[in-house]
Structure 1
Amino acid sequence: MQTSQSFGIHFTTRPDKAKDGKEPIYACVTVNRQRAYIALKQNVDPKNWDSGKGTAKGNKDEVKSINNYLEEVRLAIGSSYKELQLKRKMLSAKAVKDLYLGAEQEVYSMSRLFSYHNESSTTDLKWSTLKHYYVTQRYLIKFLNIQFNASDIYLHQLDYKFVKDFEVFLRNHKPKDHQKPLNNNGVMKHIIRLKKMVNLAHNLQWISNDPFATYKLKIQKVNREQLSEVELKAIEEKKFGIERLEMVRDMFVFCCYTGLSFVDVSNLEPEHIVTGADGDRWIRTCREKTLIPVIVPLLPKALTILDKYKDNERALYDGRVFPKISNQKVNSYLKEIADRCDILKNVTFHIARHTFATTVTLSNGVPIETVSKILGHTKITTTQIYAKVVERKLKEDMKMLQSKLSH
């Protein structure tokens, strides 16, 4: 791999390492403003050294011998640099130094980190999470092509400027396909994934410096969208007369009353519907994302939908409660459903989960601890995000307080 690089060799001495009145000579190799020092097997009297020219001065045979040696070193280091160029390898001051010294020390690159991360994460991360790392990695490769005219980079070259420049690249990137430009939080998600991969390299001792030491993430707080009671009722009661819209509406409403995500309702099997000690039917399953057990009591409206699909041939064939359908199609059909119900919000399937948390449960006095348990959240602070937007419940609580105070 060849990039546009500046290359230079300069000889200098180290007064702090002087011994018997003589200072050791070092070769300073510079590649693209990065330096590496090579200790040479020569010492010189500081009186006989020209620091500006980087050569010994005088007419003595000893001085001439030193300069001849330095010239040989210059040619050898230059040959090492050219060899890296010819082999199309990454060029850096350290790479030139290692080749000159014949060092076999392993040098780690970004592409190697990608490979190790992806291979080692298959057991730790679900595919739904891991695939986002692949997207981040593709953005990083595009960034390297534009910023460095390269497809790879050494990990020891990563610094604060690299991270900041990558952030600027993401903010200015304009996709040529149907995708929208990244918003602030979308950019930050890619930066967070890069940080996690760099932390992995640091733990593996593949990198000694931390490029994120002084970098600050800039996450913007956003309001979680949900349907109001009126909007939810409009979708529940609407007659579409089209099977695909009816099915997607039923799945969506079912999740509005159970809090399941799209992947969890898609994986829901008849055996996950159990009868509790109270004689009522419950959902007993695990969240696909976190593998946390989830137990959900089935409300009457969810039960009605469940009974509607108990004999559905498509669902039974796949051993599922609902027929299979892709997330992309579901969200496309939900936009059509919202349009037919005169709902102006950007309705996606995940809004069902938000609606369950706010309109269906918190707004009706269900304790936040209970809601957090049903949603399968590991931290109650995650559930508290929804509690901030329940205006109707706040008004009811204040009216009750006002009534008590007036008496």
Structure 2
Amino acid sequence: MANIKFIIRDMNAKTEQTVYVTSRFGRNEKLMYATPLKVKPSLWDEKRERVKNTGYCSYREEVNGALNAIDALIKSFMAQVAMSESEVLSKDSLKNLLDVHFGKKRMQAKDFHSYFEEFIRSCETRTNPKRGGQTLSYKTMREYARTHYYILEYEKKRGIKLDFNNINQSFMNDFIAFLQEQNLSTNTIGHKIVCIKALMRSANENDLTSNMKFQFFKGISEQSDNIALSEEELDSLARFDFSSNPRLERVRDLFLVGCWTGLRFSDFTSIRKENILDGMITITQHKTDASVVIPVHPVFKAIWDKYEGILPSNISNQKFNDYIKEVCKIVGINSRVLKSITRGGKKQTTVYEKWQLVSSHTARRSFATNLYKSGFPAVSIMQITGHRTESAFLKYIKVTKEEHAKMLMKHWQKKGNLLKVI
């Protein structure tokens, strides 16, 4: 199999340079293909062939995500060629694949697999009407690419070749069994089902097949045992003195911003002075393109004033997740938490210390959970979190049965019901 690498040709240059994908075929034949991606050489990790993990590069995740997508595309193509009796992997065939991927050529899909590949490539230009016409995210493209990879592996394992007419309930049952053999979690398998249904729906819309059996595929999922931090734990975070460690202090402060705004990482790291007026934060969310209005909480106000209206946002989500775990461990957020997940069709339960499970999204979940526990109406919280149904919202927040009982007790005390004697 050909060796794939990503390189920058001039590592001594001061300006942004083109990222090339290279592959050698035999001793004398080599492809060096210029991608549209550009990176400063000082930010390029030659060993990892990706942008360095540094807070000084604001576009690291986007570029690395695009490189990962290209890598997944090529590996999927190689796997398909390896299974084919008529196709040969060559410099020209790989160049043609990349030309189609980057829009220099257009390939007419003829069968299930070629259409799947075109469907993956079109993620870069296909829009989501539910998100105001925004193009699909890299994560969506990656999920389609992974689904196609597992389908190719499934074909190898079962010794079959799928086409549009094979996509029926019998296939889906066996494909789920195969994915369980790969030790994938229930929710990961559920994502694969969603991807196949989306592909088949698109193929039907483009008159490539009349097979509608995919409509009867049932999704599978399980509720994640994610965590939320209580207001007492948030107070402990806010009071802890991190002045001797500015790196952790900045991450702690950003996390608290998320906890008291209910915004996602991409949004609470994007708050600017123009988003705040008359004690209200108004911001258009990156993920949904929906506008939300949130009152300024005293904790947010203190942090905002501390940084003079310029929050320390130059950090990747990955690094943030690493550092906030370090923060919570130091503060002592270490209560025992059981986390269960179904993997390979079997339920697995692991004991963690709470700090191990904290991430950027814990801030948003903590916001919603603490507000709900305080008695604030769920329908009003949903206006900020963006949940469309109360059932979905109630699954999202983390309130135990004991906490629900305590909420009822407080309600009775407030109403004076406990004083009534029959």
- TM-score, normalization: structure 1? 0.62
1:232, distance to aligned residue in structure 2 (A): 1.6
| Larger of the two Rg values belongs to structure | 1
Task: Point out the more displaced range, 134-143 or 146-155.
Answer: 146-155
| Aligned-partner SS, 1:212 | helix
Counterpart residue number, 1:264: 267
Residue from 363, 369, 387 that aligns with 1:352: 363
RMSD: 3.0
Counterpart residue number, 2:286: 288
Please list every run of 5 or more consecutive structure 1 residues that lacks an aligned counterpart in the other structure.
1-84, 90-104, 174-180, 276-280, 316-320
| Aligned-partner SS, 2:229 | coil
CA–CA distance in structure 1, aligned partners of residues 267 and 171 of structure 2: 39
Distance of aligned partners of 1:264 and 1:273 in 2 relative to their CA distance in 1, 3 Å threshold: same
Conserved? CA contact 2:155–2:162, under 8 Å? no
Residue from 186, 194, 197 that aligns with 1:195: 197
Counterpart residue number, 2:11: none
1:248, distance to aligned residue in structure 2 (A): 0.9
Residue from 402, 405, 408 that aligns with 1:394: 408
- 2:142 is the counterpart of 1:134: yes
1:128, distance to aligned residue in structure 2 (A): 7.4
| Aligned-partner SS, 1:294 | strand
1:348, distance to aligned residue in structure 2 (A): 1.0
| Aligned-partner SS, 1:263 | helix
CA–CA distance in structure 2, aligned partners of residues 87 and 107 of structure 1: 15
Counterpart residue number, 2:177: 168
Count, aligned residues: 287
Residue from 318, 327, 330 that aligns with 1:340: 330
**Alpha-carbon deviations, 1:115-164, whole Å to 9, x = none?**
23542654327677442332342342244145237998432332323323
CA–CA distance in structure 2, aligned partners of residues 235 and 123 of structure 1: 40
Q: Percent identity?
A: 28
Amino acid at match of 1:291: D
**Alpha-carbon deviations, 1:226-255, whole Å to 9, x = none?**
112222222111123211111111111111
Residue from 292, 295, 303 that aligns with 2:301: 303
1:86, distance to aligned residue in structure 2 (A): 6.5
Residue from 375, 380, 395 that aligns with 2:385: 375
Counterpart residue number, 1:75: none
CA–CA distance in structure 1, aligned partners of residues 369 and 362 of structure 2: 10
- 2:319 is the counterpart of 1:329: yes
**Alpha-carbon deviations, 1:275-297, whole Å to 9, x = none?**
2xxxxx21111111111110000
Conserved? CA contact 1:170–1:187, under 8 Å? yes
Higher relative contact order (CA 8 A, sep 6+): 2
Conserved? CA contact 2:154–2:178, under 8 Å? no
| Aligned-partner SS, 2:324 | helix
- TM-score, normalization: structure 2? 0.60
Please list every run of 5 or more consecutive structure 2 residues that lacks an aligned counterpart in the other structure.
1-83, 89-107, 334-352
Distance of aligned partners of 1:199 and 1:398 in 2 relative to their CA distance in 1, 3 Å threshold: farther
The correspondence of residues 78-97 of structure 1 with structure 2, limited to 5 A, is 87-88=86-87
Amino acid at match of 1:167: I
Conserved? CA contact 1:260–1:353, under 8 Å? yes
